Structures are given as structure tokens and as C-alpha cells.
Amino acid sequence: MNILVTGASRGIGKAIGEYLRDKGHNIFASSRNEAPLKEFKNYCVCDLYENPEILGDYIEKNNIDILVNNAGEYIYSPIEKVDFYQIEHITKINLESPLYLISRAVPYMKQQGRGRIINIGSISGVMGEACASLYSSTKAGLIGATKALALELAEFGITVNTINPGWVETDLGNESANESGFSKDEITDCIPQKRFITPEEIAGMVNYLISDEAKGVTGQSINLCAGLSVGY
């Protein structure tokens, strides 16, 4: 199977790409930065804000069976300090580009009678996050799109699901923790399992969702958050 993972240069995306590659899958990776992508045999350098059509063309050229929309950006800011560019930028990266890439991947999936689309959302799109309204709203939009697309594509053997990580042990996760104004220990204390999720746990969930065993799982918003969504 040909699997495209966006945002594969670091963190969650890199872990997903490496995990699935080690399982024997044919990985196609994309990111804005070329150097980290060179560990993958096939890759596409693309800025999803400036020119998502480059990756759209790449998808069609390489007959992608499985699309993992992982690329995303995070903004931590009180709403009154947000400017129009930030709203436009994060909406295009986190919501518009995934939908566009799906539109380019679906024709081949329909032709094959099988496909998998996995969106990497966030627990912030499920619960909301103070001072991260732009991020939360785009990730919530991704969950809504997942449900609608799952209905639209079910008859073609294509499943669509979203994984919503909580706090993740990555550079971005640690940077977000620092921006929040709370220490990592304070954040961890509010998580029922008292830990951050690892990128490998997310990769393992992706691996399950692309399997034949998960062919009946579609339209789901799966919270992989160490119990954060349940309460405290």
C-alpha cells in the first residue's frame, strides 16, 4: 500500500512514517523541510499554506491508497491579540489543506474500491482550550469533516477517522506546554494517567486503522489522551 504522511519531518508525523515503514509499507512523506525527509525513499517538499497543489499533484501521480493528514500548526494567544493573518494561516494549514488533499486522493481510492483517510486532530478540538481558540476550532472542524466524509465515502470501501491526541511527548508538545504558562509537572498532574502520550502510541493506532481488521471503523473521533477527555 502507498501511504502518504504529511508533516513527516518531526514529531508525530515522523513517528508514524517510521513505524509504518518498519511494518513494510511504502511510505511517501511530505513537509516544508527537505533535510529530515531524506530518511524516507519517497518524499515531497511542500508548504501547505503557499502551494498545497504541489502535494495534490504528487498524490495523484503516486496512487496513494492511504492518506494520513498529520501536518498542523498551533497558536497560543488570547483572542483579542489574534490578527487576520493568523486566522487565515492556521485555518488553511489545519482544515482547508487536509480537505483539499482528501479531494485529490479520493478518485484513486474510489477506483480501487478501498482507501483509508486518517486525520490527526487534537483533544483541544473535542474539549476546547483557553487561549487556543484558533487551533481548537480548526481541529473541531476536522472532526466534523471526518463524520461527513465517512458517510459520503462508505459505499466505496473508504474509511475516514480522526485521532485526537492529548499532550504528546514531542518538541511541539513541550513547546506548547511552555507557552501555556504552566510547568510540565503541573500539566501532567491534570492528566488522569499522569503522563504524556508517546508518538509511537499514535503510530500504533494509525497502523490499526489502516488494517483490514478496522474496515468497519469509520467516522470516528478517537481520543488518545491518557484519559484527559474523561475529566479529572
On the question of pLDDT at 33 being above 90, the answer is yes
Residue 196 is assigned to a structural domain of this protein: yes
* Rounded mean pLDDT, 212-222: 98
pLDDT in tens, 138-179: 999 999 999 999 999 999 999 999 999 999 998 766 676 666
Residues 77, 44 contacting (CB under 8 angstroms): no
Residue 58 bears catalytic tag: no
Residue 112 is assigned to a structural domain of this protein: yes
Residue 229 is assigned to a structural domain of this protein: no
Residue 18 is assigned to a structural domain of this protein: yes
Q: What is the pLDDT of residue 231?
A: 76
Measure the CA–CA gap between 224 and 111, rounded to whole angstroms.
Answer: 32
Q: What is the pLDDT of residue 179?
A: 67
Q: What is the pLDDT of residue 86?
A: 97
On the question of pLDDT at 81 being above 90, the answer is yes
Residue 76 is assigned to a structural domain of this protein: yes
Residue 231 is assigned to a structural domain of this protein: no
Residue 230 is assigned to a structural domain of this protein: no
Q: What is the pLDDT of residue 182?
A: 73
Total domains in the fold of the chain? 1
CATH number at residue 159: 3.40.50.720
Q: Indicate the pLDDT class of residue 183, thresholds 50, 70 and 90.
A: confident
Domain that holds residue 41: 2-224
DSSP percent split of the chain into helix, strand, coil, nearest 5 = 50, 15, 35
Catalytic residue selected from 19, 58, 74, 135: 135
Residue 107 is assigned to a structural domain of this protein: yes
